[in-house]
């Protein structure tokens, strides 16, 4: 089965330096509670940062860490203090955190922090490499470690890796603001299974993959680097017993609950529990509460808001300002509305014990959870777990991930303070039957979709995803074994070489007219075509005029234009693959393409001798894909039973003669060539697939890029293709086969 290795920024225990030496504190967070039993059940390890690392080795501390590794199976990743600062306080919390919560205005980007982020992820990888065994399952958590999956994959290509993002994944418009966005996405694509709190976060990732890396995906998976990565929305749960269990058996909780009931008798209790963070909407809540007291004077003296807020990330200016703002708002509320026997806001500015928290959850009439943006928000679920009599009402922000599965709550837009106040009033007036019904439904879901079922589901998905890769049919295409290919080239007396142009020899340009071949590329093709034993053809979707103007002067080179409609033999004469039929079809098809072109800024229509093409590479990628689908189905209907057909290529839709294809053209050329032991075809899109099929299993068929293909091998980019060709040229020059 393999062990489970949990990896997160913090270990579930933290070492703190006190006056009496180092002290270990156990984390009570939801992640630790959920993962510890799962980890133990899977014979696991937990790898993470143990807290402040002293500049010099401290023997006592090291002894403690060694004991953690032996007894608790917790493996510490020590980070040099300046790396830890730049990584955690810097890039993770001042760049990724605000950006992923849709606050681009709070983002600071500092290249030095980025370097620390890379260094910290690399350090995690190094520690993991000393521990990982072949069958282990690696489960990486959260935004601090987004580069780690790919770093591990590079060292251990077969290892099973899953990743869960606890915070939101932002809309691609926001994500694109990030200076190092490509690296982060590629980092995540090192996984086998990538999961998010909600479908909307998952959709945002898919949109970023398309816009940033040009990578299309399906709802449930994406292909990258020859692997299939499973994509999932998997909302995290809590360990409900850890909360509601205290109401049965903990005397301390019982005592506190009685105290609260006594103290607030005759008053309705509104409860808010947050870390002090700008994403949590604390000032907005306080202003909405003020509106409530202003618009409903009869509530004065009858309600109390208990705001529990743990300070966090002190030292960061945005957080300092927030703390001042919260202090002022609370001061003003209590000053303006308070009376000698009524304080409108009770402010608890520290972490409270579990017993105190559970008592507050159970005693409150309204759980007021109002983040401006939150991955999930566990407080909402903890409140529901503790509402056993079902009398309370959950008021929940529609911007918390939890809103996606807690439809029975009263949902609010926390930015709309007026209507939030009205909703709180409604919550206080809600009839008891309705409250019980809603809370009952919420509770059943919170108890069922708990942290344990969440972790089990994730691990099952990860195992399945990796099993498809590890035990499935041999992955096709495989990475081209370059040395073997060169050796086979070297041994052969005769060689056939078929090369596609766009996307294979040159990267795609926005407009088809701008992808000129460089002089160096033309020279390379010349050299390749020089040897009499080599028969080289360039097969492209381009027009014969373009191909002639670029490669017309290359001696010995055969050209195939318009995906096979026209060809030029090595003697230099152009011919059509078949006698050309009537071309009045263009008059019927062009208006359709123009109609789509007019709706899609940045798209262009290209007319070739035998085809019409709508290119949308420079258009908005999502809109372009969507319209391309629509155009495809319109054309399919229109062209049924004609000799034309519509083809979806990379960022284009082409209408062409059905008989024009590269395979037929290539074989027509090869009729004049002697049989060859070495046959190579390289191409990057659907138009090359027929040729791959035709050449069969003993040819070197190579797909350029990451998409699935019927080719035997793949290379990732035109750059790789050119350097492979250069190796072939080198081989023919240095060691001519005689």
Nearer to ligand ADQ, 274 or 654 (CB): 274
CA-to-CA distance for 526 and 381, rounded, in angstroms?
68
| Count of Cβ atoms closer than 10 Å to residue 520 Cβ | 9
Nearer to ligand ADQ, 120 or 236 (CB): 236
φ, ψ dihedrals at 557, nearest 5°: -85, 130
Q: Which of residues 310-349 bind ligand ADQ (CB under 6 A)?
A: 310
Q: Is 379 in the site for ligand ADQ (CB under 6 A)?
A: yes
- Reduced to 3 states, what is the DSSP secondary structure of residue 274? strand
Q: Please state the closest distance from residue 275 (CB atom) to ligand ADQ, in A.
A: 6
The angle subtended at Cα 450 by Cα 385 and Cα 445, nearest 5°, is: 60
Q: Please state the closest distance from residue 414 (CB atom) to ligand ADQ, in A.
A: 14
Nearer to ligand ADQ, 167 or 305 (CB): 167
Annotated catalytic residue within 500, 502, 684, 688: 500
Of the candidates 243, 274, 240, the one whose C-alpha atom is nearest the C-alpha of residue 446 is 240
Largest CA distance in the chain: 106
Q: Which stretch binds ligand ADQ (CB under 6 A): 154-162, 198-206, 288-296, 373-381?
A: 373-381
Q: Please state the closest distance from residue 667 (CB atom) to ligand ADQ, in A.
A: 58
Cis check: omega of the bond before 134, within 30 degrees of 0: no
CA-to-CA distance for 130 and 141, rounded, in angstroms?
19
Nearer to ligand ADQ, 159 or 330 (CB): 330
Q: Please state the closest distance from residue 201 (CB atom) to ligand ADQ, in A.
A: 11
Q: Is 374 in the site for ligand ADQ (CB under 6 A)?
A: yes
Please state whether 183 falls in left (phi above 0), alpha (psi between -120 and 50) or beta.
Answer: alpha
Q: Is 242 in the site for ligand ADQ (CB under 6 A)?
A: no
Q: Figure out which of the listed residues 240, 375, 512, 541 binds ligand ADQ, where binding follows CB under 6 A.
A: 375
Of the candidates 527, 535, 603, 616, the one whose C-alpha atom is nearest the C-alpha of residue 569 is 535
Q: Which of residues 146-175 bind ligand ADQ (CB under 6 A)?
A: 166-167
Q: Do residues 528 and 534 touch, judged by C-beta distance below 8 A?
A: yes
Q: Is 370 in the site for ligand ADQ (CB under 6 A)?
A: no
Q: Figure out which of the listed residues 69, 107, 171, 351 binds ligand ADQ, where binding follows CB under 6 A.
A: 351
Q: Figure out which of the listed residues 77, 288, 376, 725 binds ligand ADQ, where binding follows CB under 6 A.
A: 376
What token pair was written down for 489?
């080239």
What string of H, E and C letters represents the secondary structure of 24-44? EEECCCHHHHHHHHHHHHCCC
Q: Please state the closest distance from residue 366 (CB atom) to ligand ADQ, in A.
A: 17
Q: Is 12 in the site for ligand ADQ (CB under 6 A)?
A: no
Binding mask 428-447 for ligand ADQ (x = CB under 6 A): --------------------
CA-to-CA distance for 701 and 496, rounded, in angstroms?
12
Q: Please state the closest distance from residue 402 (CB atom) to ligand ADQ, in A.
A: 7
In the chain, what are the helix, strand and coil shares in percent, each to the nearest 5?
50, 20, 30
Judge residue 738's burial from the number of C-beta atoms within 10 Å of its C-beta, 0-12 exposed, 13-18 middle, 19 or more buried. Answer: exposed
Q: Which stretch binds ligand ADQ (CB under 6 A): 151-159, 271-279, 449-457, 463-471?
A: 271-279
Q: Please state the closest distance from residue 427 (CB atom) to ligand ADQ, in A.
A: 20
Q: Please state the closest distance from residue 49 (CB atom) to ligand ADQ, in A.
A: 16
Q: Please state the closest distance from residue 386 (CB atom) to ligand ADQ, in A.
A: 11
Q: Figure out which of the listed residues 284, 382, 405, 527 binds ligand ADQ, where binding follows CB under 6 A.
A: 382
Q: Is 355 in the site for ligand ADQ (CB under 6 A)?
A: no
Q: Is 352 in the site for ligand ADQ (CB under 6 A)?
A: yes
Q: Is 253 in the site for ligand ADQ (CB under 6 A)?
A: no
Q: Do residues 342 and 300 touch, judged by C-beta distance below 8 A?
A: yes
CA-to-CA distance for 191 and 188, rounded, in angstroms?
6
Nearer to ligand ADQ, 342 or 347 (CB): 347
Number of residues that bind ligand ADQ (CB under 6 A): 20
Q: Do residues 264 and 299 touch, judged by C-beta distance below 8 A?
A: no
Q: Which stretch binds ligand ADQ (CB under 6 A): 120-128, 213-221, 267-275, 674-682?
A: 267-275
The b-or-e profile of 635-654 (16+ CB within 10 A means b, else e) is beeebeeeebbbbbbbbbbb
Q: Which stretch binds ligand ADQ (CB under 6 A): 114-122, 130-138, 371-379, 496-504?
A: 371-379
Q: Which stretch binds ligand ADQ (CB under 6 A): 272-280, 553-561, 616-624, 670-678?
A: 272-280
Q: Figure out which of the listed residues 3, 85, 275, 578 binds ligand ADQ, where binding follows CB under 6 A.
A: 275
Q: Is 414 in the site for ligand ADQ (CB under 6 A)?
A: no
- Residues 6 or more apart from 208 whose CB is under 8 A from it? 169, 172, 175, 176, 181, 185
Q: Which stretch binds ligand ADQ (CB under 6 A): 113-121, 202-210, 270-278, 696-704?
A: 270-278
How does DSSP classify residue 168?
P
Q: Please state the closest distance from residue 101 (CB atom) to ligand ADQ, in A.
A: 8
What token pair was written down for 632?
């495809």
Nearer to ligand ADQ, 245 or 556 (CB): 245
Q: Is 48 in the site for ligand ADQ (CB under 6 A)?
A: no
How does DSSP classify residue 326?
H
Q: Is 234 in the site for ligand ADQ (CB under 6 A)?
A: no
Q: Figure out which of the listed residues 6, 32, 236, 725 binds ligand ADQ, where binding follows CB under 6 A.
A: 236
Binding mask 19-38 for ligand ADQ (x = CB under 6 A): ----------xx--------
Nearer to ligand ADQ, 97 or 678 (CB): 97
Of the candidates 394, 338, 363, 383, the one whose C-alpha atom is nearest the C-alpha of residue 264 is 363
The stretches of 89-235 forming alpha helices (DSSP H) are 97-100, 111-131, 148-155, 172-175, 181-188, 199-213
Q: Do residues 158 and 190 touch, judged by C-beta distance below 8 A?
A: no
Tell me how far CA of residue 628 lies from CA of 259, 614, 621, 631, 658, in angstroms.
66, 9, 10, 5, 19
Q: Is 377 in the site for ligand ADQ (CB under 6 A)?
A: yes
Give the count of alpha carbons within 13 A of 460, CB side only: 7
Q: Is 598 a catalytic residue?
A: no
Q: Figure out which of the listed residues 273, 442, 565, 627 binds ligand ADQ, where binding follows CB under 6 A.
A: 273
CA-to-CA distance for 48 and 665, rounded, in angstroms?
58
Nearer to ligand ADQ, 33 or 423 (CB): 33
How does DSSP classify residue 102?
T
Nearer to ligand ADQ, 238 or 525 (CB): 238
Q: Is 306 in the site for ligand ADQ (CB under 6 A)?
A: no
Enumerate the active-site residues. 500
Catalog residues that contact ligand ADQ under the rule CB under 6 A: 29-30, 166-167, 236, 273-275, 308, 310, 351-352, 357, 374-379, 382
């Amino acid at each position: 089965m393999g062990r489970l290795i949990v990896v997160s920024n913090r270990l579930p225990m933290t070492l703190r330096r006190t006056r009496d030496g180092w002290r270990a504190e156990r984390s009570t967070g939801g992640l630790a509670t959920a993962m510890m039993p799962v980890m133990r059940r899977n014979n696991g390890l937990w790898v993470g940062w143990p807290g402040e690392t002293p500049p010099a080795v401290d023997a006592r501390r090291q002894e403690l860490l060694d004991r953690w590794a032996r007894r608790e199976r917790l493996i510490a990743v020590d980070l040099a203090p300046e790396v830890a600062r730049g990584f955690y306080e810097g890039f993770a919390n001042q760049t990724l955190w605000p950006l992923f919560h849709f606050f681009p205005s709070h983002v600071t980007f500092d290249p030095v922090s980025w370097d620390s982020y890379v260094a910290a992820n690399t350090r995690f990888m190094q520690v993991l490499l000393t521990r990982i065994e072949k069958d282990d399952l690696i489960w990486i958590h959260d935004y601090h470690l987004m580069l780690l999956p790919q770093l591990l994959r590079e060292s251990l290509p077969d290892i099973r890796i899953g990743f869960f993002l606890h915070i939101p994944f932002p809309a691609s418009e926001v994500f694109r603001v990030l200076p190092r966005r490509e690296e982060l996405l590629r980092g995540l694509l090192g996984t086998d299974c990538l999961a998010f709190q909600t479908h909307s976060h998952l959709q945002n990732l898919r949109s970023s993959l398309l816009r940033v890396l040009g990578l299309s995906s399906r709802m449930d998976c994406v292909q990258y680097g020859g692997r299939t990565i499973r994509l999932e929305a998997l909302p995290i749960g809590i360990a409900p017993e850890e909360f509601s269990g205290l109401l049965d058996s903990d005397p301390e909780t019982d005592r506190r609950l009685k105290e609260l009931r006594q103290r607030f008798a005759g008053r309705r209790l509104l409860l808010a529990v947050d870390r002090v963070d700008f994403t949590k909407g604390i000032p907005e809540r306080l202003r909405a509460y003020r509106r409530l007291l202003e618009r409903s004077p009869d509530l004065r003296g009858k309600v109390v808001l208990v705001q529990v807020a743990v300070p966090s990330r002190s030292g960061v200016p945005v957080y300092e300002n927030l703390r001042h703002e919260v202090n002022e708002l609370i001061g003003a509320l209590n000053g303006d509305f308070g009376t000698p026997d009524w304080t409108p806001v009770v402010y608890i500015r520290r972490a409270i014990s579990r017993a105190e928290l559970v008592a507050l959850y159970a005693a409150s009439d309204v759980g007021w959870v109002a983040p401006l943006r939150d991955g999930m928000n566990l407080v909402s679920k903890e409140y529901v777990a503790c509402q056993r009599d079902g009398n309370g009402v959950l008021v929940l922000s529609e911007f918390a991930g939890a809103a996606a599965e807690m439809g029975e709550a009263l949902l609010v837009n926390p930015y709309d303070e007026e209507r939030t106040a009205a909703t709180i009033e409604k919550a206080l007036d809600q009839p008891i039957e309705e409250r019980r019904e809603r809370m009952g439904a919420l509770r059943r879901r919170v108890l069922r979709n708990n942290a344990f079922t969440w972790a089990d589901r994730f691990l099952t998905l990860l195992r399945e995803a990796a099993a498809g890769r590890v035990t499935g049919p041999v992955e096709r295409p495989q990475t081209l074994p370059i040395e073997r290919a060169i050796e086979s080239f070297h041994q052969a007396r005769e060689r056939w070489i078929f090369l596609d142009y766009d996307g294979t020899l040159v990267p795609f340009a926005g407009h088809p007219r701008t992808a000129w071949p460089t002089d160096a590329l033309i020279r390379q093709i010349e050299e390749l075509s020089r040897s009499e034993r080599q028969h080289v053809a360039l097969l492209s979707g381009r027009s014969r005029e373009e191909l002639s103007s670029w490669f017309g002067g290359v001696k010995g080179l055969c050209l195939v234009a318009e995906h096979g409609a026209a060809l030029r033999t090595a003697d230099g004469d152009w011919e059509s693959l078949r006698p050309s039929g009537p071309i009045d079809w263009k008059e019927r098809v062009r208006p359709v393409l123009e109609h789509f072109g007019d709706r899609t800024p940045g798209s262009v229509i290209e007319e070739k001798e035998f085809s019409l093409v709508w290119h949308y590479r420079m258009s908005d990628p999502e809109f372009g894909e969507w319209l391309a689908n629509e155009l495809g189905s319109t054309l399919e209907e229109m062209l049924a039973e004609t000799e034309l057909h519509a083809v979806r290529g990379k960022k284009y839709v082409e209408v062409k003669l059905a008989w024009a294809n590269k395979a037929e053209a290539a074989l027509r050329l090869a009729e004049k060539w002697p049989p060859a032991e070495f046959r190579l075809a390289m191409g990057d899109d659907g138009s090359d697939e027929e040729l791959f099929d035709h050449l069969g299993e003993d040819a070197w068929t190579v797909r350029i890029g990451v998409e699935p293909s019927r080719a035997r091998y793949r290379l990732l980019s035109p750059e790789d293709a050119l350097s492979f060709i250069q190796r072939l040229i080198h081989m023919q020059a240095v060691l001519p086969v005689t």
